[in-house]
Amino acid sequence: MGAWSDAAVSLLFGSSCVGCSMPGRAWCPQCDAELSQAVDPVILNCDPPVVVCCGYSGCVPEAVVGFKDRGVRTLGPVLGQVLAAGLLLVRAGLPDHLRPVVVPVPSTGAAVRRRGFDHTWELARIAAAAVDLPTTRLLRSGSRQDSAALSFAARRANLAGSMRVRRTGHGPVILVDDVRTSGATLAEAERVLLAAGYAVMGRVVVAGR
């Protein structure tokens, strides 16, 4: 679809790109190309490793927010492929015989009801399928305060005890989430998984601030 066609769609349906506000598609080819160029998975110096697939800048924040909060579900496969790039990097550092399970950090029940879907589960499912790994909803989340405006210490306090493991077990897992800010969410998820008997082999996020 060309620029004139996109403009016609915008006039008829009032749509525009969530990344750049260009009339037409909800996610335009220019922003899609920019996001693809931004994908450059980096391993942070952590144990287990944290892989950040791209920086939280440019059109990336708009893509993440557009998917989970603005109803642009077509961004699911796009962001899922970004996450898959990080999964491949973690898997490349593991012994060949290990086939870890991809486990998403859970959204709260309130967030799922507000959005109408669990965005982290959808991203995990798409990314795991792309790299031929199993995935499961192993974690569940209780209520917690929105941590966007909280300090690092307050984030950790807010998240403490906020997650549960659906079943104890064993075996390797890789945690995935959309955005890493302080690392407190991933740390809490890792803590409860380790306590339940699982081995966390890595943590992968779409973007990091």
As a whole number of angstroms, the distance between CA 83 and CA 184 comes to 19
59-83 pLDDT tens trace: 999 999 999 999 999 999 999 999 9
Write phi, then psi, for 39 (nearest 5 degrees). -75, 115
> In this model, does residue 122 exceed pLDDT 80?
yes
Kindly compute the dihedral angle of the four CA atoms of residues 87, 92, 95, 97, in this order, to the nearest 10 degrees. 60
By C-alpha distance, which of 63, 9, 71 is closest to 35?
Answer: 63
Q: Domains in the chain and their CATH numbers?
A: 1-37 (no CATH), 39-208 (3.40.50)
For residue 177 the two structure tokens come to: 């989430």
According to DSSP H, which parts of 2-118 are helical? 3-13, 29-38, 60-69, 75-92, 109-115
Three-state secondary structure call for residue 71: coil
Average pLDDT in the 86-101 region?
95
141-186 pLDDT tens trace: 876 555 555 455 555 555 666 799 999 999 999 999 999 998 989 9
10-23 pLDDT tens trace: 333 458 999 999 99
Q: What is the residue-averaged pLDDT of the chain?
A: 87
As a whole number of angstroms, the distance between CA 150 and CA 157 comes to 10
For residue 53 the two structure tokens come to: 């697939």
Rounded to two decimals, the pTM is: 0.86
As a whole number of angstroms, the distance between CA 185 and CA 147 comes to 10
As a whole number of angstroms, the distance between CA 208 and CA 118 comes to 20
Helices first, then strands: H and E counts in the chain: 8, 7
Sheet holding 50-55, edge to edge: 42-44, 50-55, 199-208, 172-180, 101-104
Tell whether omega for the bond before 48 is within 30 degrees of 0, i.e. cis: yes
